[in-house]
Amino acid sequence: MDEDESQRLRLVPAVERASVILDIVSASKRYLTVSDLARETALPKSTVHGLCTTLVHLGLLIRRPDQTFVLGPHLLKWSNAFDRQTDIAAEFAALWDQSGAFHDAVVSLCILDEPDVVFIAARQTSALERFPVKPGMRLPAAFCAAGKAMLARLPDHELQRAYRTFPAPLTERSVENLEVLLEEVRTIRAEGIAIDVGQCQRGVTNFAAAVRNSLNRTVAAVLVSVGSEELAAGEIDGFRTGARELADRLSLRLGAEPA
């Protein structure tokens, strides 16, 4: 936030400084002292000492025996309340209402319920008859791009445990076995986007990206579905980027750190 915006909003300086200190402590890879925090904030040590003492009293910081600081337990109470009060489907709908993207696609929100993905919300500006989406619909996670995006956030050993028995294919394009799925997953981890071309529905190409919460845990995936025949080669990058950006924006609304 720049200085002009701060003045316009008339922020309370002490609260703003306390917030900055909490941000610094949370991002630091080492334990910080009052002197460290004074250097980071360019504030007098006496000011930082007073702020830290107050934050410790409120349970927002813990003072360690060596006089360094870590985040306090009261923050977890706020975090849990934030998660409890945040409706991911409602946030998805609100975000979609603000977006003008994907005029010729179906955009869905999915969660992982092993071994399936479950559709919990969907928005569409034009009908995609080949891929009618309704809340509650299930598809095998191994074949659907939304499932692949969420599976890619899991370690390989968990995938090996989950897919000791591999699901029967939905189409001739569905991945055949765990080895092929793991190859796809490694590509998704590197690129941050999952794509399936006709793996769960003939004639439909799906783009998906994972959605994270305030604890950086994957809680859902955004799925963008478009007819393969209508998808021009020059549009693929736009759908890839659009799906990833929509998932990132939803993640921010859920309290995740910027990707």
- Is 86-253 in CATH node 3.30.450.40? yes
What is the reported pLDDT for 133?
82
What is the reported pLDDT for 1?
44
Please say whether the beta carbons of 208 and 222 come within 8 A: yes
Dihedrals φ, ψ of 168, to 5°? -70, 140
The strand ranges marked E within 4-134 are 61-63, 69-71, 106-113, 116-124
Coil vs helix vs strand at 105: coil
The domains spanning 3-81 and 86-253 adopt the same CATH topology = no
Query: What are the domain boundaries of the chain?
Result: 3-81, 86-253
What is the reported pLDDT for 2?
47
Pairing of strands 204-212, 218-227: antiparallel
Q: Say which CATH topology domain 3-81 has.
A: Arc Repressor Mutant, subunit A (1.10.10)
- The rounded distance, in Å, linking the Cα atoms of 17 and 215 is 23
Please say whether the beta carbons of 145 and 206 come within 8 A: yes
Q: Does the N-terminal peptide bond of residue 65 adopt cis geometry, omega within 30 degrees of 0? A: no
What is the reported pLDDT for 83?
63
pLDDT less than 70: residues of the chain: 1-9, 82-86, 100, 125-130
pTM equals 0.69
